[in-house]
């Protein structure tokens, strides 16, 4: 998303401290909230009223979300457009397609690294503790 035009908004500003001022301005299709500081880029939150319903747009130097519990996004389509890289870090990651497929495309190599890479199979159940494990193969 591109930052909105960074111009001074008319109207009364509300001082937020440390030089920051908040202003709300009606637009032709909704409203714009701008937080401005003389030393930092502006933070814009715009609500656009469309025929399909309100759309919220935000522009800032960065966006961080922290939650004590879950973060849930419910929508018809979810898309991330990163100009650089995209990464996911978690204790466990599950990707499920209820209908259709899962496609992975790369212009370069695709690496799958894991203790075991299971393709169209389940992990073998562990052997009972009283049963000896598989015999080591001898080198000839």
Neighbours of 9 (CB within 10 A): 16
Q: What is the pTM of this model?
A: 0.58
In a domain, 94, yes or no: no
Adjacent-strand bridge partners of 59: 44
In a domain, 37, yes or no: yes
DSSP string, 49-60: EETTEEEEEEE-
In a domain, 108, yes or no: no
For residue 61, give both structure tokens. 């130097």
Q: How much is the pLDDT for 131? A: 82
Domain count, the chain: 1
Q: How much is the pLDDT for 10? A: 63
Distance between CA atoms of residues 7 and 5, nearest Å? 6
Q: Which domain holds residue 25?
A: 14-59
In tens digits, the chain (140 residues) has pLDDT values of 444 444 555 667 888 988 899 999 999 999 999 999 988 888 999 999 999 999 999 998 898 999 999 999 999 999 999 999 999 999 999 998 888 888 999 999 999 888 888 888 888 888 888 888 766 555 55
Distance between CA atoms of residues 3 and 58, nearest Å? 8
User: Which residues are CB-neighbours of 114 under 8 A, at least 6 positions away?
Assistant: none
Q: How much is the pLDDT for 32? A: 93
For residue 59, give both structure tokens. 């522009």
């Amino acid at each position: 998303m591109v930052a909105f035009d960074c111009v001074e908004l008319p109207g009364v500003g509300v001082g937020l401290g440390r030089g920051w001022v908040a202003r709300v301005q009606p637009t032709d299709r909704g409203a714009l909230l701008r937080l401005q500081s003389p030393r930092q880029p502006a933070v814009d939150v715009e609500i656009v009223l469309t025929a399909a319903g309100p759309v919220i747009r935000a522009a800032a130097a960065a966006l961080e979300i922290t939650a004590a519990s879950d973060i849930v996004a419910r929508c018809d389509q979810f898309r991330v457009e990163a100009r650089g890289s995209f990464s996911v870090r978690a204790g466990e990651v599950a990707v499920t397609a209820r209908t259709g497929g899962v496609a992975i495309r790369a212009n370069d190599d695709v690496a799958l690294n894991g203790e075991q890479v299971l393709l169209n199979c389940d992990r073998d159940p562990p052997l009972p503790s009283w049963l000896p494990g598989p015999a080591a193969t001898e080198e000839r």
